[in-house]
Structure 1
């Protein structure tokens, strides 16, 4: 029976929600979200659709299910959950398109300049987003060199008694110890903000006026300092590869397909300054047209980010401009360039996309060879698509942490990594720790709540492997299981592979591609476990005793540590001193004082 879109749309409310397009045999074809469900779904059933791929999907629809939610934020969360759970055929996913860094100027009389990822808050100024952390950090270094703003945390700033090294090398004016007035520092902050916004000409004019004024009042030392700052700024602007000299925000989007790979190269221009590129490789894009991939990117990338003034793309068309206007709910200029600078930006983005595809293809071919060699060495029926590896880390039984890392497709997939805090075992009992982490992990696999691996690696020898085999047997799971026993003196290349099915141990030659792959995954599991263990151990050893005092929650603890510069300061405070901290009354202050002094 043909799907009656007209009758269905009459029942759909104009509310935020998530929709699931269902095909034959209850196959989920596509999952999407919308601020206005009726308007978004109606766009799929018009006479002219934006791409053949979407038209093909619509022809397969037998039913559309909707779920109403209270807000766009809830719709986004539900959509992400359903896509990960159902893996719909027509959802092109950008798994590495997660969080872009910003540069943040904090509030207060002496703002700090910092890189930042996450939700934007009122009272602070943000510049970006930047395509990667390197671009953001490089910009901060430039700002430090030009305007000497502080980068330290507020807790450090409040408790310094002398300038730090950055002041000595002329990267900070040391407001922490009064080396600069609040007004002068504010001026530095405003010039930095204008520079980050692309208003370099205004900054140059301001510095020139200040330099001339200092010269006229015979303050030659100040004039020389401003002159050096002007020269540094001019040098920075001269080194800028491409600068539009216009205060505008532009995103350059190039989509290229080659060697079975599709790359979306995103370059960002903020305030007229080119900030760099970021290549993105979507999942489930096999057979998709480049324009379909671009549509998927536009939907996902801008759902929680502001739209730029303009979009430059190698796939510009009236249909694409119409699609962008539909998503943005306002006109956005979409073009293939309108001048020499635009063309230069597009050429740079295309070149970077080609380089990224070539690098990915070389890495993919190497990974495929390694997986084939691994399947042959371990006698697997086919090359594994998903490998999970476990390791345990602790110091004399303290702060035990287990790690699970995942190789998926052609490389490590950090978004699937998990750490487990091990509790309730005899300290130092690695077998019990391994039992606990495997039970917690594979209970979810047995219940269908987590992906099923094609190969499980255990960083350990026969004992750990026997524990793993018993856990899987108790859960009713049959998974290829291999232990990686360390070689003599833990020397790489001398590892022995131990099998749970009774086969004789295997030692691959040091040059084996299969062994190299196992080493990569094993070493990553070890790194992920030990960094988690060190963080947990450090927190346990430096953890404040305030956490154990009734009535002292995170907010009060933070206020106390900030007010007295650390736990030692809190211990030295009197009851009257403690009462002056917001949220601490006399009764709680007395309780706190008694607890810290053993009364």
Structure 2
């Protein structure tokens, strides 16, 4: 794919250095951002490679201007690319955009801190835990903590001066036993801060300190024969055990690990992220991203690792992936693909999640397509007043050029989708000259006589491209085959919205926005394409054969032999004299070489 002249000049000026390049369209909007170890090689590859997919070809067509930035290393290029993509959100770059604001748990930095859920993160308010991908999971954790520790929920300023001055009174939470009344000085600050220390441990995914605390309190109360109090501590300990049992537990030695896996299909990539802390999976998130340029899995996963780690504020120093990824610009972070052991089991769990998501999405798309197709067929049935749902539709068209090489084509749609294995071409055999009516009679007769002979299923609807004349010949063909009444048939006039039905001189007008009309348009375009392609190939073959048979001393058998093997006169002309002699002998080779030299 050749670059435009002004782009060629820009490409020649690019350095052989690492950096980031930006593509702009004619409106001077950034449409793509990329990184490269060698800027000139990478950018020029867009315009020199011939095997780009359609999406990349479309990108290249829209490139009007190029900008670049030189950096010191590949890691710097990666970071700059990531920031530019987030800033400009170019059309052809993959970007995780799920529109969600994930919630946090905020442990406030005031005296007698509160634990509150929030989606607004404000620096200086306290320590934020999260974000949490699952709101239900976050609420369960908050409920657990509030059931274990008597935290205040009021927004009073509990400064020593305000408490000593008696500015506040205990509320209903105190009387329900959910708060110990620090607002009236009924709870000492040291005990409250012990609770906060244990809450921090729980929020970090470590239950060892809280469990140890409640176990010791339970044993102490039992020794002091305060059995009711001991039972209360036992209940709290049981709640921690129950919560831990509900968590996915892995090897306790595995701490602070990110696990990423990817699986993709032609249109989308699916990524799963697991966050492991202190032997437990504390976060899991699966996402789907639409491919923009048929990017490979490793490139997509690399981008998603950076985006999701930033989204969920991960500081993990170890990342597990199911595919190798390029070196990430993350200092002191290792990326591996474990093959055995507990880390491999973690990776397999992540992959299981991502494969399930892919299967679910593909199944949803299939169901959506099926429902869409049923709706289209129901609309056709209603618009044409058919007695059956048109699950099988066939459309015919004739093609000729000034009466030469008359052919016909038929396309078949099953369940409102093209069934290309059922498409058919026809050489017109019984009609001389450009007679569309008789040609239509011939191909319809041949098609359905064969289906009847083979015992194959018949379509519910036949469409002929043409007006009342072509329609009447199709009806005649069906009647002659004793199929009239078994197959509905319509004709489509040049103005697509005019549908002709048998025995009605006036056309049926269908709403231009109708899905019936859109499907008929698609079928007519498809049968035109299919028929014209076949007609051109026949006409070209006939033209080539005529050119060779015009050569005096060269018969039709020799012409057929050469064209069958070499496909075109151009390729025959490129043969050397020894090669021609090997094909047709010395005498005919000499005749051909003399003819070609005279007609260059």
When normalised by structure 2's length, the TM-score is 0.48
Give the structure-1-normalised TM-score.
Answer: 0.48
Q: Which has the higher contact order (CA 8 A, sep 6+)?
A: 1
